[in-house]
Amino acid sequence: MDRFPRLTTLLLLIGCVVVGATGGVMIAGHNRAARASDPDNRPSPGAGINGHMSIAVGEDSVCAIAARGRVDCWGVNPDGMLGVGVGAATGCQGYCTPRPARVAGISGAVSVAVGNEFACALLHSGLVDCWGADNYGQLGVGESSGPQVCQVVGGNVACAQHPVAVTGIRDAVSIGAGGADACAVVRGGETYCWGAATDGVLGDESEQGTEACGAASAVARCNPHPAPVFGVGDATAVAVGSLDACALVRGGRITCWGDDGDGQLGDRTTTGPQSCVAGGSPEPCSLVPVLVHGIRHARSVTVGDGDACALLRAGAVDCWGDNALAELGTGGTGAGERCGAGGDACAATPQKVLLHGRAGQVSAGFQDACAVLKDGSVDCWGAAAGGALGTGKTPALQGCVGAADASDQVCLATPTPALGLANVVVVSAGVGVSCARNDRGGAECWGENSTGQLGDGINGGPDSCTTATGSEACATTPRRVAGIA
């Protein structure tokens, strides 16, 4: 696929980890009162996305809401991503923490979102705090130089080692983060975004941002000040992917903006209404939101890397965009359209995911996705490298035939249950890692574990998986996160 190298160029200064897109942004409209529908007052699947059930997986890092609205994070920490201060990490020569660590200064958080080496928390007060890398203005503090400078492998990165308040955001009801961008919906329905302006992902009619940011080797345009998304005044939730974003608007419609090279805007084209040139070559995009074709009565939206999914009112899930590695869960990769310079499989209109039952929540990650079903089980689909689907060591894998460069990769084109999970309320898919929380607040993660991203206290193992970069420590089935309950 052609998108991952573009984002790698954009974000190459971020730490010692494998850089690239981040997905796994699970998002739903914020409700200050916890929702519950079961007779014993426990949340039903999909009901507890906010409050003490919120969990978000990014690139090699995970954050979750803990008791009393505090936030715990684990995984990679080269530039303050975990909110515990650089040098406070306990593993990977000080670059990671393999068990949850408390983010300093956060209380009253109701949801959390994780981007590429930064994270944000929505507070009960309606304010938003962010921490981690700030080299593209993704912390929203009005500058891309950060309140601090973090020393990482390859140079220095502007950062905040502890949470800082996003400027100008009040009465927020939903947040999303992905790549080097973040967005928030405020009470009344206006949506604001900040960070890298690549491919129009800020939705403000421009890809120029307000200033140059990044380092000499990866200069881009950005806006470190939250700016309104053009024409979105009735949103209830927002989700952000690697180079695009979507908002759920009143009435259950979905509108998206940013990169359109894989049909991820869902507007029946792969050419976009505009052509964006950030990154060195023209790319299809939309600088303003466009309506996703055929989606009505949606309950939530999630955006991955070149694809997006919607949970519909009846419990069905529709996905659109990149399908080279079976990200759409339609049972195959070869059918449909071809997108991008490489001619990868894609769909520019929503496609029905072949789930085993009605869903209560869905999360799109990097090349994979997972959904919580009404019975509390979890279906996952897409690229299976690194154990990211949680289906065990020897699942019935199908070859990925949707991309010319994927002949050596394996996929699950049809949703398959992640093993050993029960009573799940929410799932979040990220980059090679997914995590779920059950109705008692416990968390389990599966996938790559070379930098402690499973949160089980182990930096490595228990399994070994083949990935695009070779053999890597992993868990092919879910592992309990230490201390999360």
**What is the C-alpha separation between 18 and 451, in angstroms, rounded?**
11
Please compute the mean of the pLDDT values over residues 281-303 and round it to a whole number.
95
Percent of the chain with pLDDT over 90: 62
What residues are paired with 71 via a beta bridge? 65
Tell whether 36 is covered by a domain.
no
Cβ atoms of residues 300 and 248 within 8 Å: yes
Return all residues near 365 (Cβ < 8 A) that are at least 6 apart: 23, 24, 57, 304, 305, 382, 388, 428, 429, 430, 431, 434
**What is the C-alpha separation between 238 and 427, in angstroms, rounded?**
17
Tell whether 37 is covered by a domain.
no
Domain count of the fold of the chain = 1
Tell whether 319 is covered by a domain.
yes
Tell whether 387 is covered by a domain.
yes
What is the distance of C-alpha 316 from the center of its chain? Answer: 21
**Phi and psi torsions of 334, nearest 5°:** -85, -25
To 10 degrees, the CA torsion angle through 68, 74, 76, 78? Answer: 40
* Digit-coded pLDDT (tens) for 135-190: 999 999 998 888 888 877 667 889 999 999 999 999 999 999 999 999 999 999 99
pTM comes to 0.88
Tell whether 35 is covered by a domain.
no
Tell whether 241 is covered by a domain.
yes
The two beta strands, 181-186 and 191-196, are antiparallel
Structural domain including 146 reads 3-30+45-480
* Digit-coded pLDDT (tens) for 440-483: 999 999 999 988 999 999 888 788 887 666 788 899 999 999 98
* Digit-coded pLDDT (tens) for 383-410: 988 899 999 864 445 556 555 454 457 7
CATH code of the domain in which 170 resides? 2.130.10.30
- pLDDT computed for residue 402 by the predictor: 53
* Digit-coded pLDDT (tens) for 64-87: 999 999 999 999 887 788 887 665
Tell whether 485 is covered by a domain.
no
Cβ atoms of residues 188 and 109 within 8 Å: no
Q: Which residue in 51, 177, 157 sits closest to 116, CA to CA?
A: 177
Please compute the mean of the pLDDT values over residues 210-227 and round it to a whole number.
85
